[in-house]
Amino acid sequence: MSTLVFLEHHGSGIQKAALGVLSKAASLDSDTSAVIIGSGVSGLAQEAAKYGAARVFIADDASLAAPLPQARVDIIASLVGAHGFQNVLFGASVLASDIAGGLSARLDAGLNWDLTDLEGSASALVGKRSALGDTVLVDVGWTSEPRLGLIRSGSFEPAERAGAGAVENVAIALEDFSSKAQMVEQANEAQTGPSIEEADILVAGGRGLGAPEAFSELEGLAAALGGAVASTRAVVDSGWYPYQTQVGQTGKTVSPKLYIACGISGAIQHKVGMQSSQVIVSINKDPHAAIFDFSDLAVVGDLHDIVPKLTALVQERKG
Amino acid sequence: MKIAVCVKEVPDAGPLRKIDPDTKRIDRSGDRSLNTYDLNAIEEALRLNEAGGGGEVVLVSLGPDRALESLRKGLAMGADRAVLISDDAAVGSDLVATSLALAEAIKRESPDLVLFGQAAGDSDGAVLWAAVADRLRLPVISQISELEVAGGNVTAKRQTEFGYDRIQAPLPVVLAVSDSLNEPRYPSLKGIMGAKKKPQDVVSLADIGVPADRAGTAGSRTTVTALNPPPSRGDTQKIEDDGSAAQKVLDYLVERKLV
Ligand SMILES: Cc1cc2nc3c(=O)[nH]c(=O)nc-3n(C[C@H](O)[C@H](O)[C@H](O)COP(=O)(O)OP(=O)(O)OC[C@H]3O[C@@H](n4cnc5c(N)ncnc54)[C@H](O)[C@@H]3O)c2cc1C
Ligand SMILES: Nc1ncnc2c1ncn2[C@@H]1O[C@H](COP(=O)(O)O)[C@@H](O)[C@H]1O
């Protein structure tokens, strides 16, 4: 028993990022297992086998229906105790990060996060991680087992490789504190309106807009350019703009021909959703803003001056 | 309520952050300040007590002695006191070691709430609260963009990859707040003047009952083995707006046939 991959699911499907981690793990270690935790999840085992799982552990119970981390720590910790996995890997997400953090404390096991690649073998794993806002790439290691790793979303594409997929049901024993947090209302945001993923040009706004009304400036520019408006979590959380337009780790991943970032600091969680845009132009009044590190054209200035002028110039040119 | 807020001193953002090639640790020799995301946690703690009949806000941190200077900003905002775990044997602590030391220091305080910021600007882990909560055997809710405390329960809204959840948990509880939850206040002049006189306990590992071999590099389970610059994206062209930036942006887009 060597590597265990946590397969996160939402609704009736396993997350693509988790399947990507599973197929990568299986390519490094033929003895890779998967674990699926939830309510009514037995049917997902086959999917895991398709991407290389030799064994699929299923923890299926009504008490596990809500995607909350702590009960999942209990289950994975007992699997590690019973089977002695050398590595436990996760596709990064809000849920997976909280599970991995809790597991690290529970098992006194090292956790490396934001990994973009894995090398070596099951017994000598090396992680690649970018750090300090992606200004350095570091090789990271672990000094004890199990090694815990959170893999940045999008790092590995799922690749089909048949695994034996022997299903094993897991007995469920939870700690007293693990079920104290309860889901009152679970996210299931309906998709409405045009998708920002399809736009060739995105004009994105962050908290630097100063007020929700300022989004009209961006809408003007987007209309002139024939594009759509995107946003950051900070403004979505504040209720300034709809969640469907959010770019980043917990929002959409986009790769338009042009991404114009206005009043956005360039936090790593935003960057992961837009870094593969072909051309990135950013406007920010802070000359040290992180967004400039990965922009093609960096404009130090006030967006409220520049955006309306640019809109007028584009309109003029288009006639 | 008694609220513990975990805060960290980090190197200032900007062009100077780097990793020391010898120790392979973050170079902390330059300017430093309190992690900006932690200001949201301090602000929330202050507001909760202002709205809910008072209490105490205690800053808890692991770092070198000089981190007290940064912690004073939190005291100037209105926190009542600070506990700094500072020990030569704690240098180089990773998640396993840091979470143990913080949990032990927090246990001595028995707070009703333990608050964290959304991430440390230098490590970007966004995982520490989950580890500390596990060691404290308390429920945890992260990524909080709305928070309500009433009747011995907290109800929080959090964003995940799928939209917004609403989660409830009884006190005591560990919470990590998003930077959109509030707008941190600026310390008043009076606050700044008063901060120095507020209690600031510097405690050693022995004081909080953490064996030296469970802290610092000895107590850590991860290592950095090599450093490389990342693949570069090509040169960034930088312009400062002197009134002509919009025209320059247009020219740039026209040149690339984007307009
Ligand atoms: C687990 C996790 C997941 C996350 N997921 C996401 C995600 O999916 N997407 C996301 O975006 N974030 C995400 N975040 C949050 C992220 O860390 C940042 O907090 C967020 O991206 C900041 O948004 P912002 O750039 O709009 O705001 P800020 O960081 O506040 O930046 C505002 C910028 O505007 C500039 N500015 C101010 N006024 C002006 C002006 N007049 N003209 C020009 N510039 C101006 C400022 O200099 C500043 O750089 C996540 C965080 C965590 C911990
Ligand atoms: N050394 C530390 N001492 C106290 N609190 C910390 C420390 N490091 C991180 N934190 C807290 O944990 C949060 C998340 O940190 P991280 O998981 O490192 O990104 C920060 O926003 C702080 O609230």
Q: Is the CB of A244 under 6 A from ligand 1?
A: no
Q: CA–CA separation, B56 vs B59, rounded Å?
A: 10
Least confident of A6-15, B21-30, B98-107, B151-160: B21-30
pLDDT at A81 over 90: yes
Q: What is the pTM of this model?
A: 0.94
B88 pLDDT band, cuts 50/70/90, is very high
How many CA within 13 A on the CB side of residue B44?
Answer: 30
pLDDT confidence tier of residue A246, bands split at 50, 70 and 90: very high
CB–CB of B170 and A95 under 8 A? no
Interface check for A298 against chain B (CB to CB < 8 A): the answer is yes
pLDDT in tens, B163-212: 999 999 999 999 999 999 999 999 999 999 999 999 999 999 999 999 99
| Model confidence band, residue B248 (pLDDT cutoffs 50, 70, 90) | very high
Q: Is the CB of A269 under 6 A from ligand 1?
A: yes
Q: Does ipTM exceed 0.85? A: yes
Give A-chain residues touching B99 at CB under 8 angstroms. Answer: 101, 104-105
pLDDT in tens, A39-48: 999 999 999 9
pLDDT band at B253 (very low <50, low <70, confident <90, very high): very high
How many Å apart are CA A222 and CA B61, to the nearest integer?
A: 45
Contact B241 A305 (CB under 8 A): yes
Query: Is residue A7 over pLDDT 90?
Result: yes
Q: Mind listing the pLDDT tens digit for each residue in B122-132? A: 888 999 999 99
Q: What percent of chain A has pLDDT over 90?
A: 89
Q: Which residue's C-alpha comes closest to atom 4 of ligand 2? A: B61
**Beta pairing partners, A56:** A34, A167
Separation CA A8–CA A64 (nearest Å): 12
Beta-sheet pairing, B81-85 with A228-231: unpaired
SS3 B8: coil
The residues that bridge with A281 in the sheet, in sequence order, are A260, A297
Using DSSP's 3-state secondary structure scheme, residue B70 falls into helix
Ligand 2 lining (C-beta closer than 6 Å): B 6-8, 35, 37-38, 41, 61-63, 98, 102, 116-117, 119-120, 123-128
Provide the percentage of residues in chain A whose pLDDT is more than 70: 98
CB contact under 8 A, A187 and B122: no
Distance CA A58, CA B227 (A): 39
Nearest to A6, CA basis, from A65, A69, A50: A69
Least confident of A72-76, A236-240, A254-258, B228-232: B228-232
Say if the Cβ atoms of A301 and B125 lie within 8 Å: no
Alpha carbon distance A59, B132 (integer Å):
25
Domains of chain A: residue spans and CATH:
3-179 (3.40.50.620), 201-318 (3.40.50.1220)
